[in-house]
């Protein structure tokens, strides 16, 4: 699962979570506040804004539950209208996070002592490997 962390400055950082660390997100809804202490960001709190599943279908706040459903939409997440007033039936996910969700978008509401930029630069340096030719 990927966790897209958005700062107030407009920068977005991506944190790759494995199954053991992504369990703290299961059964959380869009609009809930979560603490990011479990992934190494001590003191940070974030608001869940949305996400998408493995096939790319977006989560919609107004859809209750975890399943994918076909809804009649006229605006909002998961729908681009070609004409004003036109409605279309589109597949969207519910607002509860489960194992099928591939990407979760969060917005930082409370910052910790360390800056995100410093935390993610350390991780990038660890992941870099020399290229063999």
Report percent pLDDT > 90 for the chain: 63
pTM (two decimals): 0.84
Largest CA distance in the chain: 57
Rounded Cα gap, residues 47 and 52, in angstroms = 16
pLDDT digits (tens, 9 = 90+) for 54-112: 999 999 999 999 999 999 998 888 888 788 889 999 999 999 999 999 999 999 999 98
Can you read off the two tokens belonging to residue 122? 């350390």
């Amino acid at each position: 699962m990927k966790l897209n962390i958005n700062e107030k400055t407009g920068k977005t950082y991506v944190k790759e979570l494995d199954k053991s660390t992504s369990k703290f997100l299961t059964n959380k809804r869009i609009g809930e506040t979560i603490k990011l202490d479990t992934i190494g960001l001590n003191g940070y709190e974030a608001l869940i804004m949305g996400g998408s599943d493995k096939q790319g279908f977006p989560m919609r706040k107004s859809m209750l539950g975890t399943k994918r459903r076909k809804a009649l939409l006229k605006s909002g997440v998961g729908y681009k209208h070609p004409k004003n007033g036109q409605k279309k039936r589109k597949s969207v996910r519910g607002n509860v996070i489960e194992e099928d969700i591939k990407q979760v978008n969060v917005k930082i509401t409370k910052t910790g002592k360390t800056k995100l930029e410093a935390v993610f630069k350390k991780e990038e340096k660890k992941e870099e490997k020399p290229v063999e030719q």
